[in-house]
Amino acid sequence: MSSTPDAKPSTSAYWMPFTANRQFKKAPRLLTQADGMYFRDEQGRQVLDGIAGLWCVNAGHNRPRIVQAIQQQAAELDFAPPFQMSHPKAFELAERLVQLTPAGLNKVFFTNSGSESVDTALKMALAYHRARGEGHRTRLIGRERGYHGVNFGGISVGGMVANRKMFGTMLSGVDHLRHTHDPARNAFSVGQPQHGAELADDLERLVALHDASTIAAVIVEPVAGSTGVLLPPQGYLQRLREICDRHGILLIFDEVITGFGRTGQPFAAQTFGVTPDLMTVAKGMSNGCVPMGAVFAHQRIHDTFMTGPEHLIEFFHGYTYSGHPLACAAALGTLDTYAEDGLLTRASTLQSAFAEAVHSLRDEPHVIDIRNIGLVAGIELAPRAQEPGKRAFDVFLDCWEQGVLVRTTGDTVALSPPLIIEPEHIDRLVNTLRQALRRVA
């Protein structure tokens, strides 16, 4: 049965991702339009976007260059096969991207999401060691509380229990570093916590347990976002880089959330001054407009594969929609918008005001920690007895009723607004959250 334009859609058939489906369908929160810093819901209310859609709409909504690029591309070339063929914008985009990456990360492999980027990087790491004669390096090291998407590789190296517990044994040969969250020493840190660099030495423990000759790669988020905005302690990433170098282990940064300006530089690798061997991105790459991701690989990793007869495939991996024309057009329009508005470094100029605003919530009810860097923050709340996550979820609902969208993960409220945010938006975002904290028991 077809629906009329004004008919309200049934919510029955759609099984929603990462959603409390029964709760949602009792009172759906439906967004129908977006522009700049705001969504509109089906009642026509303006809703301030405090989370850049889902960590991805870094340039704000409905940006003309991006919209026009997608429209024009759809009319010109809707699809081009990515295997043994391509199209000009894929190469143009790759060249534009490597102008932004840390030195050495100058090869781009296109995917369609952060989850696909992670699995691609893990496969690259394993295949790289095999190609260079060290196929015995098969072990992958993640980190507790890490989030690396939802494919089997990503949940295997990830460390968020709810994302793992239902799905069996996952990949074999995976181990995990301890997480870096240390509220006893680092609560209410502004920027990087002072204590905890020594936690990187946990990798030496795993090397002693498994032997370095068995370990292919370590994957971490420079800032762990989905678990509640956990920042690396001062010196932690530098020490992790040193240990990987000492033992011939590849270091992978998952920058799906931190990439494209979130921490004040194009990538968190530049913010923290540590260059990985592989780096995964997605989200802000196309401003959330068309699904797209990528893996940035070091030149030496790429070149290791470029051997043997030239007519043979060097790396047996890829996706039907790798480098899709519409996604490439959206990403090029996004890069143009970032450049014109200076957005890839704008967070560095706003982070002091943003930090002052979010840390003003320190003495509000139930707040037990606040963490921030650039234009991202986590406000951790004391959980209710027997109801983990419920207090933060109630704060989320309260803010929604007041026309502000925030995100929760467990009992942490996460903020990651579009990089076009102005001081008046910061004030409204934080003050709405303040009133919600006072209302929620």
- Confirm whether pTM is higher than 0.85: yes
Quote the CA–CA distance of 145 and 158 in Å, as a whole number.
7
Digit-coded pLDDT (tens) for 58-117: 999 999 999 999 999 999 999 999 999 999 999 999 999 999 999 999 999 999 999 999
Tens digit of each residue's pLDDT (9 = 90 or more) over 12-65:
999 999 999 999 999 999 999 999 999 999 999 999 999 999 999 999 999 999
Domains 21-58+343-439 and 67-341 fall in the same CATH topology:
no
pLDDT tens for each residue of 248-275: 999 999 999 999 999 999 999 999 999 9
d(CA 430, CA 427): 5
Provide the CATH number for the domain formed by 21-58+343-439 in this structure: 3.90.1150.10
Q: What percent of the chain has pLDDT over 70?
A: 98
Mean pLDDT value across residues 395-419: 98
The letter for the amino acid at 100 is L
H helices within 255-324, ranges in order? 268-272, 299-305
Chain position carrying tokens 């709409």: 57
Six-digit token string for 7: 């008919």
Q: pLDDT-derived band of residue 5, with 50, 70 and 90 as boundaries?
A: low
Task: Select from 71, 36, 48 the least CA-distant residue to 290.
Answer: 71
- Beta-strand runs (E) in 184-315: 215-220, 250-254, 278-281, 293-297
Which pLDDT score, from 0 to 100, does residue 2 have?
Answer: 46
What's the sign of the alpha-carbon dihedral 261, 266, 268, 271? negative
pLDDT in tens, 226-251: 999 999 999 999 999 999 999 999 99
Spatial contact of 351 and 362, defined as CB atoms under 8 Å apart = no
pLDDT of residue 6: 62
Q: What is the pLDDT of residues 177-225, one digit of tens each?
A: 999 999 999 999 999 999 999 999 999 999 999 999 999 999 999 999 9
- What are the sequence ranges of the domains in the chain? 21-58+343-439, 67-341
Q: What is the CATH number of domain 67-341?
A: 3.40.640.10
Q: Where are the beta strands (DSSP E) in 231-375?
A: 250-254, 278-281, 293-297, 367-373
